[in-house]
Amino acid sequence: MLDRISKIPLYIIASVLFGLKAYILYRFIFNISLENFMQEIILFINPFVSAFLFFAIGVWFKEKRQMKFLRYGALIGSIILYVNLIFYRNFTDFLTLPVLFQGSNAGDLGSSILSLVHIPDLLLFLDVVIIWYLSKKSSSMLSIEYPKRKKVLVLNLSIAFLLGNYILAEIERPQLLQRSFDREYLVKNLGIFNFHLYDVAMQTRTSSQKVFADGTEIPDIQSYVHENVTSDEKSDLFGIAEDKNVIFISLESVQSFVINNTVNGEEVTPFLNDLIDDSYYFENFYHQTEQGKTSDSEFLVDNSLYPLSSGAVFFTHGQNEYNAMPEILKEKDYYSSVFHANNKSFWNRDVMYDTLGYDHFYDEDAYQITDQNSIGWGLKDKPYFEQSMKYLQSLPQPFYSKFITLTNHHPFELSEEDASIEPYDSNSKTLNQYFPTVRYTDEAVEEFFEELKQSGLYEDSIIVLMGDHYGISDFHNRAMSQYLDKEEITPYDHIQLQRVPFYIHIPGHEGEVISKIAGQIDVKPTLLHLLGVDTSDDISFGTDLFTEDRKEFVALRDGSFITDDYIYTKDQCFDRQSGELLSEATTAIGQNQQDSNECEPFVEDVQKELSYSDQIIYGDLFRFYDFDDE
């Protein structure tokens, strides 16, 4: 057997083994959707193309260095694949360069990372062991000494394979490289390694935008915002909460599917269910975060700008100029603060909060944290709210204070004495444990409301509650379909699962359930209008949710969007009410894809709006704009 193998150069063996491993990972581990046979073919060939392109470099080395290159190349490539796998299990996404620069967050992940590591993952390094063994045992037989002419031929052949892969991908999905917001498309068609190279090129290009920006981009953006986003209309609630305190509660990983729902016959969120009756509750409110997760939700709320498609704005552009809500409220004599019992540098908050204009950040140093009152990511929500009260009562009024909960965070750990409902029973430990931690957060918020009433702050405040992002990724679709009693989770269902609860509780108001579509981008103008602040001269992309004259769509960062009638995602257009697939992009070879007919009128506007927001952030355009003069 070894004699037969010895007739095949090791770089070809390595290419086949590594390509096969990558294909298995793409096809059966990553939840990559495939709509047609052409996509199946492209997904199959691209890992082998990438592997051959890399390992073929080995022919340019002498025997000893050739073997060393193949050994360590296979090891490093496998590590890159595995890190992507770990990241994907939690975020259903692929690593990007800005995320790597957020490595300072990794030290705080703790059990969250450990829960994503599985023993069978060792099989991912099986080919490395084989390559290592062969390179040591039969290096003289498996190495190659080509003349320069043949080395150039191998190089040209690898480049030809790459171009062939790209041509097929372009036939299947024209303008593929213009879809940088959709990482799944890029990985599906080009592979993880080519995606990473593309990502580096894109980040290099975007990092130069600030250098060359001069402010001439602002008039076009301002014109778009004033014509398509902002409105001169004022709702009946404009100024209804003038001079009141604003208490904003960010509900970690709480999705709308738990509201008014049960598990094992028990209500998951009894207090949040009851709170709907005397609050303005938006039942079709979507989170719009991307890789920055909680920090992205904070960015959306305070700025009414979209997060970036890659990385977290809090890290990549933490020292830009913004016109954030704390800065605007400061002009109305509001004192602003954030309460979060975590490391102040996590998500670069200590820097970004100063940039946004917050007066004080109560981080983990402000709390008494012990082994008894903490679990998972840190201080449990009940002692967190309890310990926060003394600080909240000491603040000058009026204040804008944001609370960020922690307990309902992946991997959703909770001690038995704190769990008041039983876990769910499915093949997903993550989903099973999710329900008890959501209930714990629900109970913590209820206790916080009681403490606000006892302190005398309740009547002088409006209380806003918002889920920050999803908690259950589509990596757990099988279990989720079981819980929701569905045959499968379709792309339509996936978008609907991006709904998060959003409450505006104004003591003394009966409130109502509002069914119109809404998103986190709308929070800033909505709250400012309730406080009587005119935002007509602001440059942002949200609208007051209490006005009738509102933007027609809610855009998600991956280019998907929701309108009153339609949901558009992955080139498919669905009826929003029924979930019926209305149309999808064509995929025939040689035929240009067209956007789905019913959704087509909105596609260009969504892309334009996302692009304008990116221009503001990448170019740091607000440094050229004086909001005080408006």
Q: Are residues 178 and 295 in the same domain?
A: no
Q: Are residues 254 and 171 in the same domain?
A: no
Q: Are residues 341 and 281 in the same domain?
A: yes
Q: Are residues 197 and 256 in the same domain?
A: no
Asked if 322 contacts 622 with a C-beta cutoff of 8 angstroms, the reply is yes
DSSP-assigned beta bridge partners for residue 504: 280, 464
Q: Supply the pLDDT for residue 154.
A: 83
Q: DSSP H helical segments within 473-599, as ranges?
A: 477-483, 491-496, 523-530
Q: 435: domain range?
A: 237-546
Cα→Cα distances 282→278, 285, 325, 428, Å: 13, 6, 21, 29
Q: Supply the pLDDT for residue 593.
A: 44
Asked if 194 contacts 158 with a C-beta cutoff of 8 angstroms, the reply is no
Cα 486 → chain centroid: 25
Query: Considering 500, 522, 546, which residue would you say is the last residue of a domain?
Result: 546
Residue with tokens 């080919």: 127
Q: What angle do CA 104, 106, 111 make, to 5 degrees?
A: 155
3-state secondary structure of 511: coil
DSSP-assigned beta bridge partners for residue 221: none
The closest alpha carbon to 438, from 293, 262, 254, belongs to 254
The closest alpha carbon to 382, from 342, 425, 442, 470, belongs to 442
Looking at the domain assignment, is residue 560 inside a domain? no
Residue with tokens 């558009």: 568
Cα→Cα distances 264→415, 418, 481, Å: 19, 17, 16
Q: What is the largest CA-CA distance in the chain?
A: 85
Q: Is 405 a catalytic residue?
A: no
Looking at the domain assignment, is residue 575 inside a domain? no
- Radius of gyration (C-alpha) of the chain in whole angstroms: 26
Looking at the domain assignment, is residue 216 inside a domain? no
Looking at the domain assignment, is residue 480 inside a domain? yes
Looking at the domain assignment, is residue 556 inside a domain? no
3-state secondary structure of 338: strand
Q: Are residues 92 and 159 in the same domain?
A: yes
Q: Are residues 257 and 188 in the same domain?
A: no
| Number of domains making up the chain | 2
Distance CA 438, CA 444 (A): 10
Token pair in block for residue 500: 């998060």
Backbone angles phi, psi at 191, to 5 degrees: 95, 160
Distance CA 273, CA 270 (A): 5
Checking DSSP bridges between strand 561-563 and strand 566-569, what pairing results, if any?
antiparallel
Contact partners, residue 85, CB within 8 Å, separation at least 6: 25, 29, 30, 121, 124
Residue with tokens 């390694």: 193
Token pair in block for residue 327: 């800065």
Q: Supply the pLDDT for residue 151.
A: 77
Q: Are residues 197 and 245 in the same domain?
A: no
What is the enclosing helix (H) or strand (E) of 244? Answer: none
Q: Supply the pLDDT for residue 99.
A: 67
Query: Considering 546, 579, 601, which residue would you say is the last residue of a domain?
Result: 546
Q: Are residues 202 and 254 in the same domain?
A: no
- The DSSP-derived string for 158-186 is HHHHHHHHHHHHHHHSTTGGG-TT-HHHH
Active-site residue, selected from the candidate residues 92, 206, 294, 441: 294
Q: Are residues 382 and 437 in the same domain?
A: yes
The closest alpha carbon to 614, from 318, 221, 319, belongs to 221
Query: Across the 630 residues of the chain, what is the mean pLDDT of every consecutive 10-residue run?
Result: 63 90 90 80 90 87 83 92 86 73 55 75 90 78 73 86 86 68 78 85 74 90 92 90 97 98 97 97 97 95 95 88 97 97 85 95 94 87 97 98 95 92 95 97 98 97 98 93 95 97 95 96 97 93 93 95 96 94 62 62 95 95 82
Asked if 265 contacts 482 with a C-beta cutoff of 8 angstroms, the reply is no
Looking at the domain assignment, is residue 140 inside a domain? yes
Q: Are residues 197 and 241 in the same domain?
A: no
Looking at the domain assignment, is residue 608 inside a domain? no
Checking DSSP bridges between strand 245-251 and strand 461-467, what pairing results, if any?
parallel
Q: Are residues 411 and 476 in the same domain?
A: yes
For residue 335, give the CATH number of its domain: 3.40.720.10
Q: Are residues 276 and 387 in the same domain?
A: yes
Looking at the domain assignment, is residue 609 inside a domain? no
